[in-house]
Structure 1
Amino acid sequence: MSSAMDQTAPAGSTTLPEDRPRAARRRVAVVLFNLGGPDRIESVRPFLENLFRDPAILRVPGFIRPWLGKFIARRRTKAASENYAILGGGSPLLELTEGQARALEAALAGETDAEYRCFIAMRYWHPMSDACAAEVATWGAEEVLLLPLYPQYSTTTTGSSLAEWARAARKAGIDLPTTTLCCWHSDPAFAAATAAMVRAAWHRARTELPGGVKLRILFSAHGLPESIVKSGDPYQWQVEQAVAAVVERLAMPELDHVVCYQSRVTPQKWIGPSTEDELERAAHDKTAVLVCPIAFVSEHSETLVELDVEYREEADRLGVPGYFRMPAQNSDPGFIAALRDLALTARAGSRRLCSFAGGRQCPKAFGDCPHARARAKEMA
């Protein structure tokens, strides 16, 4: 990946290096977007400040956001630091994303039409978009493919990362043909790879449960304030589409499953049902649960602490007869193969902005779909 690359072009250059043969394969930079996470306890507060300064996250007037963001970050630092202490003092997200980048590069290495190199742009902690864009320019990329590691589009995740990349690319002088893959929530290969992991986790759970205990799958995704969804964000609809695609490929008749949402952090109303509420229902029904993180493709604090520690403790307290969790995809070979196909399909298409299936997938009600926003901009 980028940190191990040969830097064959001058910093800031986006043109073909003079010392590279004209017959060489076209250089395509694949930019992987992810959230980022603090690398040590001392990074927790500045990481949170970056998070809460983002207008896509803290939707208040701009003049109050810096002050309020710092206030919220200060209030949340102690609890967040305790969570990262459980993980050894920092988030594993960068290391896992680097592994995905290396695996994807290897999967793309056999392509004869282009030389693919993966770069990482984290949103709230290093390496962020400015550093990533500088590396893309230094490498001498001739084309860019933007590939979010968020299966479902939200203005708070992919949308925010794309806006930050656009700013950083301008700053780095990058003016290259760019393809943006906005979402891949129910891509068939992604759904099949996820279903295979769910099925394996299901069978492991069943072997540990008594025959008479039922098992319910909780497809848990990060929540959003309801107001963001009502304003046109397609995230909840895409989460539901992702679950439907996975369940279809599981082909398990009468499968007991539900979509739920975790990680509520503000007092306003959030989309539901919540994962906590579903644990209570499972306890009432005397049903074991298998929690599947449907919106996370890498382990981080929301899976390793919230799901594995906090919700497990809550399940035990409530008397849920069994609590199991499917691991995130990380560098699962089926998942990496799905990413490879997504990258190649997006680049082969004629659209600069595309979904996994080409055009817009979201119903018209979702005005914050990036396709809808692009269309509105064209019409303005």
Structure 2
Amino acid sequence: MSDQTLTRPAHAKPDHPALPRERIGILLANLGTPDGTDYWSMRRYLSEFLSDKRVIDYPAWKWQPILQLIVLSKRPFASGEAYRSIWNNEADESPLMTITKDQVAKLRDSMAATFGDGVMVDFCMRYGNPSTESKVRAMVEAGCRKILFFPLYPQYAGATTATANDQFFRALMAETWQPASRTVPPYFDNPLYMDALARSVERKYATLDTPPDVLVCSYHGLPERYLTEGDPYHCQCQKTTRLLKERLGWDDSRIITTFQSKFGPEEWLKPYTVEEVARLAEAGTTNIAVCAPAFSADCIETLEEINEEIRESFEHAGGQSFTYIPCLNDDDAHIAALSAVIRDNLAGWIAPLEG
């Protein structure tokens, strides 16, 4: 609260404790990141992530022995190796952490230009650090009587948006004086967001000697039964691809939807990216590009899984040219789109500065 001036409420008695000036908090949330690539850092992170009932909804009596005794005895080694291949060694943090910090720095500037010092912008992670609880606590202590919670997932899924909201609500339960709160809905069909996504494709294609035959839009997967249980994620992913296709002015043959990161024995949303890129290569498609419209920032699933594992699958099957199109990250058009989403969701709480 070092930047806050403490004052007594109007009409309060002289001995009333001083309070920070009221502000509005804007709390951005992403999936999370381990604190390091060593075994115990990876185990703590994976245990928290894979114990989330929104992610793995098997009964605890059935799943926890498998997780703690089998999965977490081996997976932290493999995951640690994958993270080491993309780790930001200079900052000693994951790329997701670095990019999120860059996004938030730009959004702070954007919000300050729009609303002045009446808002406070920060971020948290659903798993790992900084925790949602710690950031809600910091905002309340800084005088935020209202908080806009923004999960950075363009499409809604129970395993992403909903679990981030769950953790936010749990953090509010610990507050004696709860701030008023709002959560930001999915924004995949926001025109500014879609334009930023399309421009990132156009910009990358302009650097290539030969345009790819197919753009693979690879989304993080979910078990198929989540769709039948009412999760809208699959439909919103399909619509994202359609809107991108229309914005680019392409026909259906130039763009497809796939799903990656299958985990466990169940059937997941199909087609699986790793299998589909191999099928394309075997069918004679030698030049493809891959983008990841479900991710707001590059992370292990894009930098390692897409740009290494999925690339290898394509090339092993005979593919010749594989282009990965980075996530929007802190691109100015992306920041402008996120800023617009925030402004829309703050309506009625605070007005933009005049002029």
- What TM-score comes out, normalization by structure 1 length? 0.82
Match of 1:110 in 2: 113
Select the residue among 25, 46, 61 that pairs with 1:48: 46
**Mapping of residues 241-252 of structure 1, within 5 Å:** 241-252=239-250
Match of 1:83 in 2: 82
Structure 1 CA distance, aligned partners of 2:193 and 2:315? Answer: 32
Match of 2:14 in 1: none
Call closer, same or farther: CA 1:65–1:278 in 2, change over 3 Å: closer
Q: Displacement, 1:27? A: 1.4
Call closer, same or farther: CA 1:244–1:253 in 2, change over 3 Å: closer
Q: Does 1:190 align with 2:188?
A: no
Call closer, same or farther: CA 1:167–1:48 in 2, change over 3 Å: same
Match of 2:234 in 1: 236
8 Å Cα contact 1:30-1:144 kept in structure 2: yes
Structure 1 CA distance, aligned partners of 2:279 and 2:212? Answer: 13
Q: In the TM superposition, what whole-angstrom CA distance separates every residue of 1:17-64 from its partner, at most 9, and x where no partner exists?
A: 94667xxxx511111111111131231111000011111112122444
Select the residue among 255, 260, 269 that pairs with 1:257: 255
Structure 2 CA distance, aligned partners of 1:325 and 1:198? Answer: 10
Aligned length: 332
Identical-pair percentage: 27
Call closer, same or farther: CA 1:36–1:318 in 2, change over 3 Å: same
8 Å Cα contact 2:20-2:142 kept in structure 1: no
3-state SS in 2 of match to 1:119:
strand
Structure 2 CA distance, aligned partners of 1:66 and 1:253? Answer: 47
Q: Does 1:96 align with 2:92?
A: no
3-state SS in 1 of match to 2:323:
strand
Select the residue among 20, 23, 33 that pairs with 1:27: 23
2:27 partner amino acid: V
Call closer, same or farther: CA 1:247–1:349 in 2, change over 3 Å: farther
Q: In the TM superposition, what whole-angstrom CA distance separates every residue of 1:224-245 from its partner, at most 9, and x where no partner exists?
A: 1111121111111111111222
3-state SS in 1 of match to 2:84:
helix
1:141 partner amino acid: C
Query: Gaps (5+ residues) in structure 2?
Result: 7-16, 350-355
3-state SS in 2 of match to 1:348:
coil
Call closer, same or farther: CA 1:225–1:139 in 2, change over 3 Å: same
8 Å Cα contact 2:260-2:272 kept in structure 1: yes
8 Å Cα contact 2:245-2:252 kept in structure 1: no
Structure 2 CA distance, aligned partners of 1:315 and 1:263? Answer: 16
- What TM-score comes out, normalization by structure 2 length? 0.87
2:341 partner amino acid: L
Call closer, same or farther: CA 1:9–1:81 in 2, change over 3 Å: farther
1:307 partner amino acid: I
Q: Does 1:280 align with 2:278?
A: yes
Q: Displacement, 1:266? A: 1.2
Select the residue among 162, 177, 182 that pairs with 2:180: 177
Structure 1 CA distance, aligned partners of 2:261 and 2:115? Answer: 43
2:203 partner amino acid: A
Task: Give runs of ≥4 in structure 1 deviating > 6 Å.
Answer: none
8 Å Cα contact 1:188-1:245 kept in structure 2: no
Q: In the TM superposition, what whole-angstrom CA distance separates every residue of 1:105-157 from its partner, at most 9, and x where no partner exists?
A: 11111224762222212111101111111111121102111111111111101
Structure 1 CA distance, aligned partners of 2:76 and 2:198? Answer: 36
